[in-house]
Copies of this chain bind each other. A is one copy, B any other.
Amino acid sequence: MPVHLQIEASRGSARAGKLITPHGEVETPVFMPVGTLASVKGVSQDVLEELGVEILLANTYHLYLRPGVETVRRMGGLHRFMAWDRAILTDSGGFQVFSLNDLRKVSEEGVAFRSHLDGSSHFLSPEKATEVQIGLGADIIMAFDECTEYPADRGRVRASMELTARWAERCKNYFEAYKYEVPWEGSGQWPVVSGQDPVPSTQSLFGIVQGGMDAELRRESAARTIDIGFPGYAIGGLSVGEPRELTRDVVLSTLEHLPSDKPRYLMGVGTPEEIAQYAQSGVDMMDCVLPTRAARHGLLFTSQGKVSIKQARYAQDDGALDPACDCRVCQRYSRAYLRHLYAANELLAQVLNTVHNLHFYLTTMRTVRAWIRAGDGTGAEAT
């Protein structure tokens, strides 16, 4: 039984429910914080739990280079390695490899690339990316795709989309053959149903829809990916430099082609306003480095808009960063103190800023879930 979505309420195109995974249930729509190297930078796992994080994203490309998949596999997979019992999703490495630009070479077989760390040569294919992700042992793993560059002409976008479709099938074939090699021991069993034996679980492989900014190619990519068959579908290839309105158009038109009974995951998006809008449009899962990366640069999201805490105007401001926020940072510290920590380049600045921004994103999603459940007038969609 793969990861699946229990839809409990809907409002327009939006739906709220639970994503059932081998490592717990996840309230959806959900924002997944990014823990690139098996750590959300500066925040310990117990604080993530307190924040209410139920699923994390980790990056296959980075973990493949450091500490290496063999280390994580021998340690029992990512959950045991990073001491995190809740759900984890790994990306396939496709997007990171795409970002390497001059350091990569794409062929039908896969992608040859050089490490951004030491220049060493590596090769990721659909099979290899799946093998690595099985070794890492996240609950949800992603098909290895080609993230089409922007802008690109239609012929190029079609060829890239078709390559992604062929790769998706190879990923699925590899996954079905090797999915029982997941390094879970004892953990990762489906919730025990009274009177039944616990079922040893495997990971779930999600497919990714590409097709650039072309609505027709997106439709075709969705159809081909659904035809292969996955327990969840992602919209990839966005946030690659295109205008925000175009992102939105592509997301909305692609969503129409995804099955309503499967989780829909929009990759790498966006601002607090955007994640709220996409959740209201029917997206179930999102991830983005924005809250954590911006935090480390002193950019904070609040109910009153963005705050650049480095500004001198906050040097003697003894108010809370966000008076409407009940996070542990806003409950205890002043803007003056946060500004001082940032200006003095203190480690604690990055820690506290990240905690606040994550809380803001998670609260944004809690609000959307409540909005969906409050407006549930049409009955839950089929589960």
Q: Please choose the segment from A198-206, A213-221, A273-281, A346-354 that sits at the chain B interface, where 4 or more of its residues have CB less than 8 A away.
A: A346-354
Chain A, interface residues (CB within 8 Å), range: 35 or more
Cα-based distance from A343 to B39 in the complex (angstroms): 13
A82 → chain B closest CB, angstroms: 6
A118 → chain B closest CB, angstroms: 13
Whether A348 pairs with B43 at a CB distance below 8 angstroms is: yes
Question: Which residue on B lies nearest to A70, using beta carbons?
Answer: B316
Q: Please choose the segment from A90-98, A169-177, A334-342, A360-368 that sits at the chain B interface, where 4 or more of its residues have CB less than 8 A away.
A: A334-342
Whether A351 pairs with B42 at a CB distance below 8 angstroms is: yes
Whether A38 pairs with B337 at a CB distance below 8 angstroms is: yes
Copies of this chain present: 2
Known contacts A336-B81, A341-B39: A75-B318 contact under CB 8 Å: yes
A83 at interface by CB-CB < 8 Å = yes
Cα-based distance from A80 to B337 in the complex (angstroms): 9
- B residues less than 8 Å from A41 (CB atoms): 346-348
Q: What is the 8 Å Cβ interface bit string for chain A, positions 33-53, against chain B (1 contact, 0 not)?
A: 000011111111110000000
A377 at interface by CB-CB < 8 Å = no
A154 at interface by CB-CB < 8 Å = no
Whether B334 pairs with A75 at a CB distance below 8 angstroms is: yes
A315 at interface by CB-CB < 8 Å = yes
Cα-based distance from A74 to B40 in the complex (angstroms): 35
